[in-house]
Structure 1
Amino acid sequence: MPLPTVNLDDRRFDDIVAQARQLIPQYCPEWTDHNTSDPGIALLEIFAWMTDLLLFRVNQVPDKMFVQFLDMIGVQLDPPRAAVAPVTFYLAAAPSEPLMIPAATEVATIRTEVTEAIVFSTEADLTIYPPQLKAAFTGNALGEATSVAHDLDRLGVLGHKIAVFSPEPVPGDAFYLCLEHDHSAHVLSLMLVCEVAGGAGVDPKEPPFVWEVWQGSLNRWATCTVEYDGTLAFNISGEVILRVPVMAEEEFFNVSGYWIRCRITSEQNYAGYKVSPDIESLKVEARGGSVSARHAVVVKGEVLGRSDGNPGQQFTLLSSPVLHLDASDVIVSEQTGEPNHTWTPVPDFAESGPGDYHFQLDHLSGQVTFGPALLQPDGTVYRFGAVPDKGASLKIKRYLYGGGVIGNVPSRAINVMKASIPYVARVINHAPAVGGRNAQTLEDAMMRVPHALRTRTRAVTADDYEYLAAQVDGVARARCITPHLSSAAGEVSFPGQIRALDVQPGQVSMVVLPRIEVPEGRIAPDQLILSAELRASVQASLDERRMVGTTLEVRSPQYFWVSVSALIRVPLGSPRTLHAEVQRSAMAALYRYLNPHLGGANGAGWAFGRPLYLSELYSLLRGVPGGDFVEEVQVFLSDPAHPETREPVGTQLLLPPQGVIVSDLHTVQVE
């Protein structure tokens, strides 16, 4: 049960009136009429009512005192978090030399009469390289050894043509291009001269191919975003504009470089090529690049003031709230004739000594505090951190301020450049900004204090590990696989001959689901990849808190890609518009329910290790408005890397403790 609330004074109105009546004979013995009609009793009740109000206020601890109490136990209100969005810079012309867009370049939304512009700053340098085509091949992605090398020197020669695919194109045929340099996050333009109607048999609005790049460390091909296809699927001369994801160097066909390919997909019921299209000329140009931008304004070289030489002195930054400080965000003290000192931020001064150049920052108020000096029991004064010399000028090298939910702007909202950059024509965000969060409220901090006190410095139980891992920025959910869970799964063979993790006593295996921008439909496989940076962040955070002798492993979940094929009947005579609406609603319900981030019965994400039952899909689809009944539902396990292979699932799909379900491509027919 919770601890009782402490009242500084628990007297109420009736208690005060009764106590005052008992004191009347002592102080005023001639007062004998104690009825409620007596004027003196009326005055006594008025004063008792006023005293009751005062006592109520005394028993209400002010919010400022709560903040001080939290500070005493080392708990501070979390500062706001900045939204992050990928922004794409487009060039006015193809560059002939590498073009760099420096970090901290500011872009913003449009300022209106009622809203201020929301400013974003790029987080890294973006260098756009002019591409150099190294080689071109035609081959088959399904593993056939036959391939055809194309002579790039003869491209553009009158009468010379090269076939993009095999003479009779089949799924898996691919056209490979090898580039000399890394063009990760670039916008590339492929300028093609094609034979008119050379790729007969295809629908230009739904081309039967995808553009992909090789990602070596991930051992997979990742899909490019096609912004524009002026060739109408290789049927006329034109331009293809691609937004390229991360690339990696690899050797194919005995040629090493960075690879792009156009691959014919194996999806059913598409209008495929009757013959291979031919191209007469090919040129690759760079048209821009993408980089991550944060909802923040960068301030550099702000002067705080001059030191008075006293311990515990404080300065206030001109702008707040301040976002998280990086290792390079330091304060420099300068004084004529003395060496400069660099001061680094620390969360508190508990481990700071007299020779440590540390400072503490209150992110919400922007207040900078240097180490205090405290009187010790033996009469000596101990300094928790060095003190800037008297007269020294203090300057912070850099900090960022901003953040909040206001930064979660939709796609295409960031389109203003705060300063002109040579050769850059425009900027746009093709994806919405996500991750913005307001500063923590006092009520929320008070609710989290018990958990913070219990797990703030150590991780012992599985709940401790999961809670602490979830506090790492970028983690959506985490699951701790214990020896108990591992042994409970036993020797059960799950689909794909996958087994539960073998966790021995003294070992901890953390399964981490990265936070992503959750789309309405299918999640791309590369979005669910646990990056090396996030893995290292979780590992470092838990290493500081795990018990001595415990080994820790951080890994990605085991994803089970599920495809659902369903047949829904609608009432006879229903209009065709109802058919389309029922199909859209059923597809949306499936993608939402079979989702690791917002799926499951409670909408909090598909639980780790939770089985999938065929009956719950029937129940889900029966709730689609407009449907009469669900006639058939089939579940398949698929592999995004090999979409042509699908394994049927029976009435239930068992998952290991580290497993989680993700939607692949669903098919819903409405009749």
Structure 2
Amino acid sequence: MPLSIPNLDDRSFEQIVQEAIARIPVHTPEWTNHNESDPGITLLQLFAFMTESLLYRSNQIPERNRKKFLALLGLGVQPAQAARGFVQFTNTRGPLAPLTLPEGLELYAGNVPFRTQNALAVQPLEAQVFYKSRLPDTRIAEIEAIYAPLFESFLEEGVELAYYETKRLEPPSSQAVIPAIDIAADTVGEALWIALLARDADQVETTRAVIANSTLTLAVLPALDATERTLYPARTDGSGQSHAALRFEIPNVPADGMLPTDPALRVAAYRELDARPSTDLLAEAGTVQLVLPEANALRLWANLEPSEQGTGDFPPAIEDTDIAERIVTWIRVRIADDAVPAGGQVQARISWLGINSVPVVQYARIVGEVLGVGNGEPDQRVQLSQTPVLPDSLVLTVGGERWEMIDDLLAAGPEVSTGPVSLLSSYAESGATPPPVNVFTLDPESGLIQFGTGVNGRRPPVGARIQATYDYGGGRQGVVGIGAINKGALLPAGVKVSNPIPTWGGDDPETVDEAERRIPAFLRHQDRLVSAADFSDITERTPGVDIGRVDVLPLFHPDRPTTTSAGVVTVMVIPKYDPLYPDAPRPNKLFLDTVCAHLNPRRLVTTEVHVRGPIYKRLWVSVGVNVIAGRDIAPVHDAVRQAVRTFLSPLVGGFDETGWPRDTQVDTNTLLAVVARVDGVQSVNEVQLGLETGGALDSIAMQGLELPHLVGISVASGSARPLDTVRGTTPPGDGDSPRLFPVPVVPESC
């Protein structure tokens, strides 16, 4: 049984007073006035108050002991996590010139501070992203009859016309799902096209001259609807991870801007830009710096015929003349030819591209804070004024010399070498690096800094000034919506800022109670992923995300569910909240990236880890019930609907209310029992269960990562409604009577 921690003394103020009054006849029988007006009773109440305060402090001893045990184990509470995101600058009314913004520029979302992570040259440009969208098969015949004769001259042997519509990749909106485009599957030509536009008041040629030989920073956000991430076993050749990348190109126009007159030579050519990506842009959000060429290389073709515009490899045709006349140049974004994905198939799904963008992190900065002076004593401690601290940002100097942060002072060397042979000499002879001496430890949550004892780590010299520069912040306050980051005190005139996508990853610090509950699990797994229980415990405490459920499937490969896969572990995660799909929460790419970043340093190097969301099977249910006489029908029907939805929930469903268990079929008998237990239901006449198509089924199997998703439910008095009626589908005809097709008739007169 669990060990309960009792109070050392649970007496209240009133109990102490009454106990003291009860002792009066024993010790002073002549004291007979026990009313509150008596001065002696007043003194007893004072002593009782002081005793209660002392008992309260005594009862804190167990909690202090628990905190001390945490400290002895080296288990501090997890610090707050800072939210991350991107901001985009627009030079709408500023000078026609690149404006350089420094790294660490402070921006605000309301009162929440953010800082940019890189310097940025804001170009006096606008940009829109287009793609050549494939036409649906239903329109091909109609379009082909019109356009095939016009473009017949373009046809050669082995060439087939591919019709498309020019569509814009709309920027994310807070009122809609963030879009996603698959470069390989959703576009004709397998490319995205970025139109760099001059501002309304600027000339195109002048803008080309201004941005020539400069750097354009582009942010790329991969699609957020990914439901899987894989951590491959570590390999010395690096072949375990994907090397897929994007290629950025601009038109390679002849020096005079004129295409040859020979039709066979009138084709679009492109030159690759020097691209410096910050990360694998197909795997995680990041930026890429593009070095633009000279002004002449930014021009477009001057003699394109109207029938040639948008054909072949030429940029997509733009019908809006206002946009077409402001195009400075095009940037074609496509998958690199040498992309080598791990699974043999390139996943190039893009949700957003934006110029003049830079990553931001939610924090504020303190520069040169004086923490005190050294006293020469062991274990000296100093306190930072602002918390929680971002550990990687702390720069500490003692007497003007920078000291190093370390995890454990026991790993530090002595400030003075002892023994017959110098330790430094022995390290020099062996070629090993001696342990650091000028070190300190930091508790990010409390801001407490501790120095060494002299034996393990140097003591700050007497009178040496201790100064710190650091960043602080973090928490859920940094998770803001689109457009929330919109101001900054040091923004140049004419420059605006906004975050085109929501920020992510902010999380509040762990409480002491949560840290205490983590002790048994930590003692078991030691922060290493070995057993299935280790995976479950460590995944559940991933900072920066709210995880509602974790299922660990050892020896299970999601692509080979029927075979046992040695060295493979699949972790199914379900978020606690999902505003888009509240009944069937799905992890997005940022969620999966956060979980993978937490698991990767803790797994064995030989383990292949697949982090997946559930695979939902869409179910429909129709129920017919009889309501107890005298009860309102509508509330009972609502209660039945809610009971079935709750029972099939991936988070609180099942009989144990921990989520519908995997590999458990959904059957009508179980649903009938759930409905029968609803208050107000007299009897259950019928329960129908079905999928998106087909008739009613007695049961629906769930295998692997499959979980039920109740799309719709109908509750009726008497018999259950047919599933086709509930789904809005029409059952196939019996073949005896013709199907009616309504046709409007135009009236002869109005």
Shorter-chain TM range is: 0.5 to 0.7
2:172–2:179 contact (8 Å) kept in structure 1? no
Q: Which amino acid aligns with 1:450?
A: P
Is 2:463 aligned against 1:463?
Answer: no
Instruction: Give 1:509's match in structure 2, choosing from 564, 569, 587.
Output: 569
Helix, strand or coil for the counterpart of 2:68?
A: helix
Q: Which amino acid aligns with 2:602?
A: S
Q: Which amino acid aligns with 2:607?
A: L
Q: Distance in 2 between matches of 1:499 and 1:42?
A: 88
**CA 1:142/1:368 → structure 2, altered by over 3 Å: closer, same or farther?**
farther
Q: Distance in 2 between matches of 1:480 and 1:77?
A: 25
- RMSD over aligned Cα, in angstroms? 6.5
2:561 is matched with: 499
Q: CA offsets per residue over residues 275-308 of structure 1, 9 Å max, x none?
A: xx99364548898776665443233444444444
Identical-residue share of aligned pairs (%): 21
CA positional deviation for 1:599: 7.2
Once the two structures are superposed, the pairs formed by residues 343-362 of structure 1 within 5 Å of their partners are 343-346=404-407, 348-354=408-414, 355-356=435-436, 357-362=438-443
Once the two structures are superposed, the pairs formed by residues 48-67 of structure 1 within 5 Å of their partners are 58=58, 61=61, 63-67=63-67
Is 2:148 aligned against 1:108?
Answer: no
CA positional deviation for 1:94: 10
1:518 is matched with: 578
Is 2:165 aligned against 1:175?
Answer: yes
Q: Distance in 2 between matches of 1:629 and 1:90?
A: 64
1:141–1:173 contact (8 Å) kept in structure 2? no
Once the two structures are superposed, the pairs formed by residues 382-531 of structure 1 within 5 Å of their partners are 383-389=455-461, 392-401=464-473, 403-407=474-478, 414-427=485-498, 431=502, 435-441=506-512, 443-458=513-528, 460-474=530-544, 476=547, 477-483=549-555, 499-500=561-562, 502-504=564-566, 507=567, 509-511=569-571, 513=573, 518-521=578-581, 527-528=588-589
Helix, strand or coil for the counterpart of 2:67?
A: helix
2:112 is matched with: 118
1:118–1:407 contact (8 Å) kept in structure 2? yes
The normalised TM-score by structure 1 is 0.55
Q: Which amino acid aligns with 1:279?
A: E
Is 2:268 aligned against 1:213?
Answer: no
Q: Which amino acid aligns with 2:391?
A: L
Q: Which amino acid aligns with 1:73?
A: L
2:378 is matched with: 311
Q: CA offsets per residue over residues 567-601 of structure 1, 9 Å max, x none?
A: 79999xxxxxxx9x999999999999877678778
**CA 1:145/1:353 → structure 2, altered by over 3 Å: closer, same or farther?**
farther
1:187–1:289 contact (8 Å) kept in structure 2? no
Helix, strand or coil for the counterpart of 1:499?
A: strand
1:325 is matched with: 391
1:137–1:175 contact (8 Å) kept in structure 2? yes
Is 2:445 aligned against 1:364?
Answer: yes
**CA 1:56/1:602 → structure 2, altered by over 3 Å: closer, same or farther?**
same
Q: Which amino acid aligns with 1:213?
A: I
2:230 is matched with: none
Q: Distance in 1 between matches of 2:413 and 2:695?
A: 65
Q: Which amino acid aligns with 1:325?
A: P
CA positional deviation for 1:372: 2.6
Q: Distance in 2 between matches of 1:585 and 1:127?
A: 59
Higher strand share: 1
1:570–1:670 contact (8 Å) kept in structure 2? no
Once the two structures are superposed, the pairs formed by residues 581-600 of structure 1 within 5 Å of their partners are none
**CA 1:438/1:254 → structure 2, altered by over 3 Å: closer, same or farther?**
same
2:77–2:509 contact (8 Å) kept in structure 1? no
1:635 is matched with: 691
Q: Distance in 1 between matches of 2:495 and 2:673?
A: 53
Q: CA offsets per residue over residues 84-109 of structure 1, 9 Å max, x none?
A: 56656555369977767655443334
**CA 1:668/1:412 → structure 2, altered by over 3 Å: closer, same or farther?**
farther
Helix, strand or coil for the counterpart of 1:556?
A: strand
2:482–2:501 contact (8 Å) kept in structure 1? yes
Instruction: Give 1:279's match in structure 2, choosing from 319, 324, 334.
Output: 319
CA positional deviation for 1:532: 5.8
Q: Distance in 1 between matches of 2:658 and 2:186?
A: 28
Helix, strand or coil for the counterpart of 1:448?
A: helix
**CA 1:211/1:6 → structure 2, altered by over 3 Å: closer, same or farther?**
closer
The normalised TM-score by structure 2 is 0.50
Q: Distance in 1 between matches of 2:118 and 2:619?
A: 41
CA positional deviation for 1:75: 2.6
2:615–2:705 contact (8 Å) kept in structure 1? no
CA positional deviation for 1:343: 0.8
Q: Distance in 2 between matches of 1:128 and 1:71?
A: 48
Relative contact order (alpha carbons < 8 A, sep ≥ 6): 1 or 2 greater? 2
**CA 1:100/1:431 → structure 2, altered by over 3 Å: closer, same or farther?**
same
**CA 1:307/1:526 → structure 2, altered by over 3 Å: closer, same or farther?**
same
1:262 is matched with: none
Q: Which amino acid aligns with 1:78?
A: Q
**CA 1:58/1:307 → structure 2, altered by over 3 Å: closer, same or farther?**
closer
Once the two structures are superposed, the pairs formed by residues 546-557 of structure 1 within 5 Å of their partners are 551-557=606-612
Q: Distance in 2 between matches of 1:648 and 1:125?
A: 61
1:246 is matched with: 222
Q: CA offsets per residue over residues 617-650 of structure 1, 9 Å max, x none?
A: 8999999x9xx999965424xxxxxxxxx99995
Helix, strand or coil for the counterpart of 1:538?
A: helix
Q: CA offsets per residue over residues 29-84 of structure 1, 9 Å max, x none?
A: xxxxxx995545899xx99x979977896565264454334322323233334455
Q: CA offsets per residue over residues 602-630 of structure 1, 9 Å max, x none?
A: 8866655555557778999999x9xx999
Once the two structures are superposed, the pairs formed by residues 134-145 of structure 1 within 5 Å of their partners are 137=132, 139-140=134-135
Q: Distance in 1 between matches of 2:478 and 2:383?
A: 25
Q: Distance in 2 between matches of 1:222 and 1:663?
A: 38
Helix, strand or coil for the counterpart of 1:67?
A: helix
2:689–2:698 contact (8 Å) kept in structure 1? no
Helix, strand or coil for the counterpart of 2:404?
A: strand
Helix, strand or coil for the counterpart of 1:555?
A: strand
Once the two structures are superposed, the pairs formed by residues 78-157 of structure 1 within 5 Å of their partners are 78-83=78-83, 92=92, 104-110=104-110, 117-122=111-116, 130=125, 137=132, 139-140=134-135
Q: Which amino acid aligns with 1:343?
A: E
CA positional deviation for 1:540: 0.8
1:469–1:541 contact (8 Å) kept in structure 2? no
Q: CA offsets per residue over residues 518-572 of structure 1, 9 Å max, x none?
A: 22438898824775674254121234xxxxxx9422212264243456779999x
1:17 is matched with: none
CA positional deviation for 1:463: 1.4
**CA 1:498/1:353 → structure 2, altered by over 3 Å: closer, same or farther?**
same
1:521–1:588 contact (8 Å) kept in structure 2? no
Q: Distance in 2 between matches of 1:631 and 1:93?
A: 65
Equivalenced residues, count: 506
CA positional deviation for 1:121: 3.8
